[in-house]
């Protein structure tokens, strides 16, 4: 089984971007931790990051059509994008929404997600660990689907 870990806008700047909110790990460091966990679980992993909404749509389509699970931090597009929601639905992707920060403890415009209704679940507030929890959660769901 395979999981695509997709990161959206501004997450390429992790490490220096608002570290009090997002922590001081870079995206490459977070990906290294995810890779270690994926290896332990025997899961194939693909990492992609883009600042462009349409590219995230393409990444979701590609993951879904390949039958891979998706761990998705859509960043600010989480709160605005109907296109991302439609993409998940269009390819019947198994996706988990993740955030480093606890979006519910922040500004009200971060409380709503357009993609949560088409995701299997949402994990937020645990920093880099949010991704590891999502990986742990998605693997049994993918195994179930593969049967
Ligand atoms: C984020 C939360 C979003 O509200 C924000 O726009 C981000 C990062 C997070 O991981 O905490 O860019 O998705």
46-97: pLDDT as tens digits: 999 999 999 999 999 999 999 999 999 999 999 999 999 999 999 999 999 9
Give the Cα separation of 10 and 16 in Å (integer): 11
Here the ipTM equals 0.99
22 carries an active-site annotation: yes
Regarding beta strands 69-73 and 95-99, do their DSSP bridges make them parallel or antiparallel, or are they unpaired? Answer: parallel
Spell out the domain ranges in the chain.
2-25+40-146
Give the Cα separation of 93 and 90 in Å (integer): 8
Give the Cα separation of 28 and 118 in Å (integer): 28
Does ligand 1 lie within 6 Å of residue 113's CB atom?
no
Specify the DSSP class assigned to residue 43. -
> How many CA atoms, within 13 angstroms, populate the side-chain half-sphere of residue 68?
20
77 carries an active-site annotation: no
Ligand 1 centroid to Cα of residue 42, in Å, is 28
Q: Which residues are annotated as a binding site for substrate?
A: 73, 79, 86, 100-101, 110
2-25+40-146 folds as Rossmann fold (3.40.50)
State the pTM of this model: 0.97
């Amino acid at each position: 089984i395979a999981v695509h870990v997709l990161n959206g806008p501004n997450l390429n700047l992790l490490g220096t971007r608002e570290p009090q909110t997002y922590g001081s790990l870079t995206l490459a460091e977070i990906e290294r931790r995810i890779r270690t966990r994926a290896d332990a679980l025997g899961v194939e992993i693909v990492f992609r990051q883009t600042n462009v909404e349409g590219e995230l749509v393409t990444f979701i389509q590609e993951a879904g059509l390949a039958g891979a699970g998706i761990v998705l931090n859509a960043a600010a597009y989480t709160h605005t994008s109907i296109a991302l929601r439609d993409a998940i639905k269009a390819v019947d992707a198994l996706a988990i929404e993740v955030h480093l920060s606890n979006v519910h403890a922040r500004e009200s415009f971060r409380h709503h997600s357009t993609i949560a209704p088409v995701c299997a679940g949402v994990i937020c507030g645990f920093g880099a660990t949010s991704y590891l929890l999502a990986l742990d959660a998605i693997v049994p769901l993918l195994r179930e689907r593969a049967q």
